């Protein structure tokens, strides 16, 4: 995530910071479209995507609520070019790994 | 490196492209989220809000689109009036914007309406507290009268020297009011800090 954020263009980088700023202070019930949406499908249960744009590109950051209350774990960031099945599968894999190994989690400073 | 640190932003904001992106994203994301939350809090659809404001659903959709930054001040004013919140449109130092965004609270986005605006709590003193303050001030006036009115302190000085009982954080009534008001939109925000999985 750190590398993904740093390598974004100025528009996308600012949009990511702005959307994270907005979402982090909102109750979960206000995490809705267009800034956020949940993924559908049993395989992706509990995973959502933060949406932002920049430089005429659309981006997604996959994550899930947890491990503790009032926490959201960022799993994977990517540009949205067509279906993101591979990235969603990777996010699901990382979620499972993070849940089994909470030691790999660290605070994301953005 | 923090994308929001002042040192980083001070350096980056000298780049005109970054500056333009910073201003656009802050306007777009903030207005979009605020309007959406104000509407959702009232359990209104975009169509409902459009009807109440005498505009189209598409206009509301645009307002809630983080990419949209061609806001019309009069439309925003109508939204503010409808939801009984204020609207600030002004130029500001960039550092002020950075400070504001770095210190966002839930009410920065989920803006309380007039009924739930704790900023007016000071004006809602109960009679007993007001009476207590007046009694104490009268006592001081008596002392002043005895020693000569010429040197009598102003009412503001009197309040300061006495320690205004209403303005202290120890005042039990005020604390109760604040406690009850903070229950409005009780914070269940998913994070003050993000957590990131390695990889």
In this structure, what token pair is assigned to residue B143? 């002392």
Cβ of B41: how many Cβ atoms within 10 Å? Answer: 17
Q: Which of residues 65-84 of B touch A (CB under 8 A)?
A: 65-67
Whether B134 is covered by a domain: the verdict is no
Q: How many contacts, defined by CB atoms under 8 Å, are there between A and B? A: 167
Contacts of B28 in chain A (CB under 8 A): 15, 18
Q: Tell me, yes or no, whether B171 lies in a domain.
A: no
In this structure, how many other beta carbons lie within 10 angstroms of the beta carbon of residue B65?
15
For residue B55, being part of any structural domain is answered with yes
pLDDT at B58 over 60: yes
Report long-range pairs for A93-96 (Cβ below 8 Å, ≥24 apart).
Answer: A94/B197, A94/B199, A95/A46, A95/A47, A95/A64, A95/B197
Domain with B95, as residue range(s), is 3-111+189-198
Residue A62: helix, strand or coil by DSSP?
strand
CB-based contact, B103 to chain A, within 8 Å:
no
Considering only CB atoms, B65 lies closest to which of A19, A34, A97, namely A34
Residue B176 lies in a domain: no
B172, part of any domain: no
Look up the ipTM and state it.
0.92
User: A10-24 vs B16-41: helix axis angle to the nearest 10?
Assistant: 30
Angle formed at CA A77 by CA A29 and CA B110, multiple of 5 degrees:
25
- Residue B104 belongs to domain with CATH number: 1.10.260.40
Do the domain assignments include residue B183? no
Residue with more model confidence, B185 or B57? B57
| Residue of B1, B2, B3 to mutate when probing chain A, most A C-beta within 10 A | B3
Q: Structural domain tally of chain B?
A: 1
The model's pLDDT over B67-110, given as tens digits with 9 standing for 90+, comes to 999 999 999 999 999 999 999 999 999 999 999 999 999 999 99
Q: Taken in order B74, B78, B79, B83, is the CA torsion positive or negative?
A: positive
Residues 18-57 in A contacting B (C-alpha not used; CB under 8 Å):
18-32, 34-35, 52-54
| Those residues with Cβ within 8 angstroms of residue B5's Cβ, 6 or more apart along the chain or in another chain | none
Residue of A nearest to B97 (CA): A18
pLDDT tens digit string along B179-191? 334 444 444 455 4
In a domain, B120, yes or no: no
Average pLDDT, chain B: 77
Q: Is residue B159 part of a domain?
A: no
3-state SS assignment for residue B54: coil
In this model, does residue B124 exceed pLDDT 70?
Answer: no
pLDDT digits (tens, 9 = 90+) for A28-68: 999 999 999 999 999 999 999 999 999 999 999 999 999 99
Contact A75 B197 (CB under 8 A): yes
Q: How far apart are CA A4 and CA A84, in angstroms?
A: 16
pLDDT at B122: 72
Alpha helices in chain A (DSSP H): 2-6, 10-24, 85-100
- Scan residues 71-100 of A and list those with Cβ closer than 8 Å to B: 71-76, 94-95, 97-98
Contact B30, A26 (CB under 8 A): no
Do the beta carbons of residue A59 and residue A12 sit within 8 Å? Answer: yes
User: How crowded is residue B28: how many other Cβ atoms within 10 Å of its Cβ?
Assistant: 22
What is the pTM for the complete model shown? 0.76
């Amino acid at each position: 995530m750190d590398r993904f954020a740093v390598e974004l263009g100025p528009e996308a980088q600012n949009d990511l910071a702005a959307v994270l700023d907005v979402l982090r202070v909102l109750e979960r019930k206000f995490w809705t479209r267009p800034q956020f949406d949940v993924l559908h499908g049993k395989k992706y249960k509990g995973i959502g995507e933060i949406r932002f744009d920049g430089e005429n590109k659309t981006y997604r950051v996959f994550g899930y609520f947890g491990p503790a209350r009032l926490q959201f774990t960022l799993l994977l960031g990517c540009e949205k070019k067509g279906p993101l099945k591979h990235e969603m599968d990777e996010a699901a894999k990382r979620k499972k790994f993070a849940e089994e190994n909470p030691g790999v989690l660290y605070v994301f400073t953005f | 490196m923090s994308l929001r640190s002042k040192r980083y932003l001070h350096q980056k904001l000298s780049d005109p492209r970054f500056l333009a992106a910073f201003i656009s994203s802050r306007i777009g994301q903030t207005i979009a989220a605020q309007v959406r939350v104000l509407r959702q809090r009232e359990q209104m659809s975009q169509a409902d809000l459009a009807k109440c404001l005498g505009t189209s659903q598409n206009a509301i959709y645009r307002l809630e689109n983080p990419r949209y930054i061609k806001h019309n001040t009069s439309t925003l004013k109508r939204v503010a009036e409808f939801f009984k919140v204020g609207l600030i449109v002004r130029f500001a130092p960039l550092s002020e914007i950075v400070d504001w965004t770095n210190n966002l609270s839930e009410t920065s986005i989920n803006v309380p309406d007039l009924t739930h605006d704790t900023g007016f709590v000071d004006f809602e003193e109960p009679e007993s507290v007001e009476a207590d303050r007046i009694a104490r001030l009268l006592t001081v006036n008596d002392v002043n009268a005895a020693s000569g009115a010429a040197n009598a302190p102003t009412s503001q000085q009197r309040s300061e020297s006495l320690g205004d009982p209403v303005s202290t954080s120890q005042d039990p009534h005020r604390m109760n009011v604040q406690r009850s008001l903070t229950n409005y939109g009780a914070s269940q925000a998913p994070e003050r800090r993000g957590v990131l999985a390695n990889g």
